[in-house]
Structure 1
Amino acid sequence: MTMWGSKKDSEQNGAEQGPPDNDGASSRRSHRPSSRNDPDERTRLLANNHPPPNSDGYLDPDDPAVSPYNLWSVRALRYLTVLFLMVSFIWWVLLLVSIFVSPPGMHSRGSGFFDFAFTCITIGNLLVAVIFFVAPAKALRITTMIITVLLLVDMIIILSVPRIRVEEGWVGIGSVIWAVFIAAWCILTDRVVAWGKREEEERLTGRPETRRTVKEWLAVMVATVFTSAFIVLVLLMTSTLGIRARDATLEYDGDRILVDGDKYAVHLACVGSEYIKDKKTPTIIIEAGENPSEYDFEHWAYSAYQNGTIDRYCYWDRPGYAWSDNAPSPHSAGMSADALSEALAKQGEEGPWILVSAGTGSIVSRIFSSRHVKQVTGLMFIDPMHEDLLHRIGSPTRGFYLWAWGIISPLGIERLGGALFKGRTREDRIYGRNAYQSGKFIKAALQENLVADSLSKNEVVSARNIQDSDTPLVIISSGIKCRTDGEWERKQKDLTMLTDNLVAWEVVGKAPHEVWRTLEGRTVMERKLGALVKAAGKVKTKEE
């Protein structure tokens, strides 16, 4: 069935546009394929028993012999397109695996979700090219050209912004370059197929075909819908990269320090006098909970510093948080503790230290304390996570949710909406209320999820057995959390027995899990921190 015209009209038009020579038989023989001829550009793929040409020497336009596949150049393009699809799929699998376990040499200091997204677009373009190979269309070429231009813009952003270039690494750069190449290849392929189709129609039917069958129109429509969807996806990715480029201009205090064999960098900043440091006055080490330490928690520490409660403090971002890079996968709490140790050593920080941490950050602090028994002179945990409850953040359902969220994070729908309609700033996106939306943060949360109830739990259980029993300890718990979760309250009480030197266990009645968000919580925290500093000084004096 065709959209317009008829076979008879096509035959008549073919006769008018390409009449046979005086020697009709000779002309018909020239158009009739022969198995005795050597293979050439127009080698036919059909058997010799196909329907004979019409009396005018031309084939019917609907004859399956009228195909661009008759040209070896068209066939070669299809073979190469399939080969590119296979190569891209293998790369896609490697990138998918690297989210969970980083293959040697493939770790990038960013989340790894952007290079995966670029490869998905590449595979999508190749699938459209392969499935709709013999249905070339101008609309398809135009939409693919738009995709190519957007991908080219992405490549320029990644290469020109140093921070993004470092985060994406060679894996991300290679992925976006490959995506640009494949998009351009699909345009070239469609044009060559269109040329080959017209060439064979002129040779075998006497004129280029201007009509399409219903099947061909459906193929063109479906292919154009897919490429139009790709345009929307790539446009969102380009906008997200633009936001990342904007965020990269935000300055930070302290330094980014390369750790773990220079595989990634972590952010560490210290506030206070170097003179105080030389006198061996305890330095407070701030360890964040479920959010970057700069988000409210560090502000409380700065207030305590200004009030004279503490003389000096340092805060850092775990891998994937705020200005710190993502670490290779898998990454456990013990590995974060080692990264902090290395960063402090490279900055010349020798202790003594008092560790102040919240939520899941307390797991890292406990492991760090067990590995620096002589340098750690005090522990203060704010509504800390117990090792027996790590299964809550290590559940498979949560892990799948984080993985799926990470896969779509390059689209930046929430981040773009926040920037356009809610006035979210660079600070909000990097360490503030919207930090959880970034690919780096999601990757860090996924890494914590994958090993929380296995490797991290084993590390913190071992740390409990090693912990010095004389270390002064303060526990501050959320009253709301304890009232609504009986198991949480029991585990808070168990954590008061981490050492034999409990300075205080305070339950702040109206405070949420992030205790410092209430005035009462901040007041209790500062008061108990002052008591801890005094208790740590007494222990140190006794030892001397």
Structure 2
Amino acid sequence: MPLFSNNKRDDDETSSRSRRAHSDNVGEPSGPVDEHTRLLPNRLDSTQGTGMLRPDDPAVTPYNLWTIRILRFATVVLTLITFAWWVLLLVSAFATPPGFNMRGSGFYAFSFASLAMSNLLFKLIFFGVPAKAVRILCVVMAFILLLDMVLILSVEKTRYEEGWVGTASVVWSVLISLWTLLADRTVKWGKAEEEERLTGRAETRRTLTEWLEVLLSTIGYSIMTAVAVLITLTIILRALDAGVAPPGKLHWVDNGKYRIHVYCSGNSTNAQGHKVPTVLFEGGERSVEHDVWQFADNAIKNGSISRYCFADRPGIAWSDAAPSPLSASFATDVLSEALAKAGEDGPWVLASAGIGSIYQRVFSSRHGEEVKGMVLIDPLHEDLLPEVGSAGRGFLLWLRGVISPLGLDRLPGALFKGRTSRDRIYGRAAQQNGKFIFAKFQESLVAGSFTKRDVEGSRQIQHRDTPLVVISSGQHIKDSRRWEKKQRDLTKLTDNLKHWDIVDKASHEIWTTLEGRDKIEKRLKQLVQA
């Protein structure tokens, strides 16, 4: 009896040790620990007698592989680098760091950085759910961005305007597209390998959550691909516009950072050989070429003036964009520098419209001896500059600039309305140009602060004997008592007011009416011949 009992006890202990050994080894392959087994927990309840896990078991994941985990970590690092670059481009629109100036708008570089950032964020969010549609879209987007890079680098003007910052941005976006393609393909491989190793076969089915993630990632990459296509089309338009040469010459200013376009026409002497004043035009809300170029040529033909010049402000028409911030004082300095390099030293009769009068008043106060008269055409008063620099207007200009590389207005204009390159450079469609929008955004940033201070200071040092003519819009005065009050105040800029004309039926752009053109030409003739 005791012998029987001892044998049974020994058999029970042997059986228990066998079960524990079997339990310890279930779900864990024999052999040394490697990247396939390090994170794999024991699954006694999942073996079902086969040693395989269920497909929905949390242990069935590509993150078991060191390759996948390192790939995800590298993607996070690339996202942080891209975010830092994106923030730097965002800040440069408001305050340009040294050496970071782009002679174009800078909005294209920001768009490429935004594409790269979106690409990486989508990859991180849907990292564990690879999809064939995403890989196809990544290939398409990488090809389109590569085409953008070739277009920018092969056309001299686009390469010049984008500079090293724009070039680096488009190259980085191409590399990120290729990286996301590699990451998605690698995760697909890792997922299939782990499923086959742990469940016996690669899973072809998806859960409802996985299908939703695939749908969202596909939609996101489809939108990014469409954005890349639109950017490519606008770059093609820029390449076409690069073939239009400026009528004048471009002069390097601000220690060779960018160029200002200066154009002059006519004779600087009269029939008797005496030097006569040159009319220096300044554009208002648009470029001189759009506003008064044709008017100026007609004035020469009519004999009202002998010669005229104009210099496009930074970012307008053919002039390069300048670093931010750009106040009226800074803009006037570079305009003066460009005129000096063009060999133009006056004497001048100044003619400006709208906000252009702000810049010419600063110019007049600094070149008083050379200024023989001023004609202000429905000029903007310095007290109204805070409205130009309002936060709402500035935000809308920035937003327009950010979406300007998509060409949502320029592309239909070129395809369906017959807009030409000249229209986009200085004509009716110029306000859709990213460089022009950036110039207006810069103007808005400091209008109520630096520029207002500049023009108020210029009023204190303005030569009081300078002949002055103010020509106001009758419609504008009728619509706003405040505007009439400010126009009246501007007639007191000097002690030598010659005329204050109100053109009854003219809008703010007085030169668009026959009466307005006649009045402007008559006053210019009087000042030039005085």
**Same fold by TM-score, threshold 0.5 exceeded?**
yes
**Gap runs ≥5 in structure 1:** 1-24, 536-544
User: Are positions 1:198 and 2:196 aligned together?
Assistant: no
Could you say what secondary structure the match of 1:295 adopts?
helix
Could you say what secondary structure the match of 2:93 adopts?
helix
Within 5 A, what are the aligned runs for 1:23-422?
29=25, 32=28, 37-38=32-33, 40-48=34-42, 51-273=45-267, 279-422=274-417
8 Å contact kept, 1:28–1:56: no
Distance 1:50 1:217, change over 3 A: farther
Deviation at 1:422, TM superposition (A): 1.2
Aligned to 2:476: 481
Distance 1:188 1:276, change over 3 A: farther
* Amino acid in the other structure paired with 1:370: S
Could you say what secondary structure the match of 2:101 adopts?
coil
8 Å contact kept, 1:381–1:476: yes
Aligned to 1:540: none
User: Are positions 1:518 and 2:510 aligned together?
Assistant: no
Within 5 A, what are the aligned runs for 1:473-512?
473-512=468-507
CA–CA distance in structure 2, aligned partners of residues 345 and 145 of structure 1: 52
What is the alpha-carbon root mean square deviation over aligned residues?
A: 1.9
Give CA deviations for 1:40-62 in whole Å, capped at 9, x if unaligned. 33243355577553311222222
Give CA deviations for 1:367-401 in whole Å, capped at 9, x if unaligned. 01111111111111111111111122111111111
Question: For this pair of structures, how many residues does the alignment match?
Answer: 509
Could you say what secondary structure the match of 1:285 adopts?
strand
Could you say what secondary structure the match of 1:246 adopts?
helix
Aligned to 2:420: 425
CA–CA distance in structure 2, aligned partners of residues 148 and 378 of structure 1: 58
Give CA deviations for 1:273-311 in whole Å, capped at 9, x if unaligned. 366699532111110000010013111111111111111
Could you say what secondary structure the match of 1:294 adopts?
helix
Give CA deviations for 1:309-356 in whole Å, capped at 9, x if unaligned. 111110121111111111101101111110110001111111111111
Distance 1:374 1:274, change over 3 A: closer
8 Å contact kept, 1:319–1:326: yes
CA–CA distance in structure 2, aligned partners of residues 527 and 401 of structure 1: 39
Could you say what secondary structure the match of 2:261 adopts?
strand
CA–CA distance in structure 2, aligned partners of residues 210 and 29 of structure 1: 29
* Amino acid in the other structure paired with 2:306: D
Give CA deviations for 1:228-272 in whole Å, capped at 9, x if unaligned. 111111111111111111111112211111111111111111102
8 Å contact kept, 1:285–1:315: yes
Deviation at 1:534, TM superposition (A): 2.6
CA–CA distance in structure 2, aligned partners of residues 404 and 256 of structure 1: 30
CA–CA distance in structure 1, aligned partners of residues 367 and 114 of structure 2: 45
CA–CA distance in structure 1, aligned partners of residues 453 and 394 of structure 2: 19
Deviation at 1:74, TM superposition (A): 1.0
Aligned to 2:450: 455
* Amino acid in the other structure paired with 2:356: G
TM-score normalised by L of structure 1 = 0.90
Deviation at 1:31, TM superposition (A): 5.0
8 Å contact kept, 2:26–2:44: no
Give CA deviations for 1:60-88 in whole Å, capped at 9, x if unaligned. 22211111111111111101101100111
Aligned to 1:19: none
Could you say what secondary structure the match of 1:413 adopts?
coil
Distance 1:292 1:188, change over 3 A: same
TM-score normalised by L of structure 2 = 0.93
Distance 1:86 1:504, change over 3 A: same
Q: Which has the larger radius of gyration?
A: 2
Q: Which moved more, 1:330-339 or 1:41-50?
A: 41-50
Deviation at 1:140, TM superposition (A): 0.8
Q: Which moved more, 1:273-282 or 1:315-324?
A: 273-282
CA–CA distance in structure 1, aligned partners of residues 228 and 150 of structure 2: 14
Give CA deviations for 1:181-240 in whole Å, capped at 9, x if unaligned. 000100011111111111111211121111111111111111001101111111111111
**Gap runs ≥5 in structure 2:** 1-20
CA–CA distance in structure 1, aligned partners of residues 419 and 488 of structure 2: 39
CA–CA distance in structure 1, aligned partners of residues 222 and 44 of structure 2: 39
